[in-house]
Amino acid sequence: MKDLTRCVHHPAVSHEGFSSLAVPTYRASTIVYPDAESFAQRKYRGPDGYSYGLHGTPTTRTLEAQLTELHGGVRTVLVPSGQAAVTVVMLSVLVPGDRVLIPDTVYPPVRGFCANYLKPRGIDYEVYDPLIGDGIADLIDGCTKLVWIESPGSGTMEVQDVPAIVRAAKAKGVLVGCDNTWASPLLFKPLAHGADFAIEALTKYVGGHSDLLLGSITVKDLDLRQRLKDTLRMVGIGVSPDEAALALRGIETMGVRLAHMGRISEDFARRLEKHPVIDRVLHPALPSCPGHAFWMRDFKGSSAVFSVVLKPGCEENLGPALTALRIFAIGASWGGTRSLIAPMAITGDRTVNPWVSEGTVLRISIGLEDPDDLWADLTNLFAKLDQEPAAKVA
């Protein structure tokens, strides 16, 4: 063997005696086969077989298996983002002439996907009141093939009666998908309540460090898993084992991080209820939050995210007050080590129950900083909002 060949062909080394707690990161585009017959028969390797790097490596399979166990499903597929998880489900189960029901509080890009991609291609959608409960049966017609749930709702935190919605859908043979990103499988398990798809934006709590984009879909039916895999194969979507490795590292500390963040978010939500510049606090743990009783019944606890509605008149000071924050960062997403805050545009995203509040909505995500530092930063923010605007003082 000449040197140029030695540069390309790696020597075999013994793995005897080697055992690591870390999951190896297997990078691969090409999967090699021991003989020609194995290559010819590769499509028969089964749902968990390896055929090409795009369709999975031992690293991605490990993450899929771990998420499957947490959700109590039978299989999980990985996709590049939480939004991709939602859209891949819809693309896999809906065809022209079908209809999907989505809650009024759904993540806005999902509504945009339904309006701007599905509808022009002959797939209809209808927006429903997230608190409709078993009344959703009245909206399910012969064309309805999927009911989508997001609980708590995006931005305004309405908690849905998932078991009631699932019962109504199942009585009419309709599939149910649930965006479970707020809770993660540690706080709520959609499949245990009858949903067919549990999706997560792994970008948030699983990643945990604001440096990862990844999503997952967990199912309890192998046929549904095959439909998802067929869609991913046809459109050429896969995920990098490097992202999966980051998720595998992050998931190990998710329980500790989520417990801490949830405890602080509840404490802050209760304290902020009494602040003079705050009109409402939207947190599922508060009795005033729509659907609080369902949260008490179905969820194991709180996560990091909640919202506050400012009293009208604070808008003029909002920009400078946010800019003056020292601990909280201004940014989208959540679930990482850093605490975040962001103004939310709600009015244009609600049609069934129009958003009528005149106050700005701020979404708050608790990170891992010292709670005293966080509270001081928040109280300084709200103190600035309570001041007369600088122009008026002059």
Average pLDDT of span 250-278: 96
Task: Express each pLDDT in 65-121 by its tens digit.
Answer: 999 999 999 999 999 999 999 999 999 999 999 999 999 999 999 999 999 999 999
**Residue 388: per-residue pLDDT:** 64
**Residue 52: per-residue pLDDT:** 87
Task: Express each pLDDT in 176-193 by its tens digit.
Answer: 999 999 999 999 999 999
pLDDT, mean over the chain: 94
Query: For residue 138, is pLDDT > 50?
Result: yes
Average pLDDT of span 382-389: 80
| Lowest mean pLDDT segment, chosen from 46-50, 141-145, 274-278, 367-371 | 46-50
More confident residue, 310 or 44: 310
β-pair partners for 76: 218
> Beta strand 340-344 with 361-365: parallel, antiparallel or unpaired?
antiparallel
C-alpha distances in angstroms, 22 versus 205, 216, 249, 277, 370?
19, 21, 8, 48, 29
Average pLDDT of span 312-339: 93
Task: Tell me the pTM.
Answer: 0.94
Average pLDDT of span 214-219: 98
Are 136 and 101 a contacting pair, CB within 8 Å?
yes
Query: For residue 146, is pLDDT > 80?
Result: yes
Task: Express each pLDDT in 353-377 by its tens digit.
Answer: 888 777 899 999 999 999 999 999 9
> Beta strand 197-201 with 215-219: parallel, antiparallel or unpaired?
antiparallel
More confident residue, 15 or 140: 140
Average pLDDT of span 202-231: 97
C-alpha distances in angstroms, 382 versus 193, 306, 362, 394?
40, 16, 11, 21
Q: What confidence category does residue 394 fall into, taking pLDDT thresholds of 50, 70 and 90?
A: very low
The single-letter DSSP state of residue 24 is P
Spatial distance between the Cα atoms of 358 and 29, rounded to a whole number of angstroms: 53
Query: For residue 140, is pLDDT > 80?
Result: yes
Q: What confidence category does residue 151 fall into, taking pLDDT thresholds of 50, 70 and 90?
A: very high
Residue type, 2: K
Query: For residue 270, is pLDDT > 50?
Result: yes
**Residue 264: per-residue pLDDT:** 98
**Residue 389: per-residue pLDDT:** 59
Query: For residue 390, is pLDDT > 60?
Result: no
Query: For residue 321, is pLDDT > 90?
Result: yes
Q: Where are the extended beta strands (E) located within the chain? A: 75-79, 99-103, 124-128, 144-150, 175-179, 197-201, 215-219, 278-282, 305-310, 329-330, 340-344, 361-365
**Residue 393: per-residue pLDDT:** 42
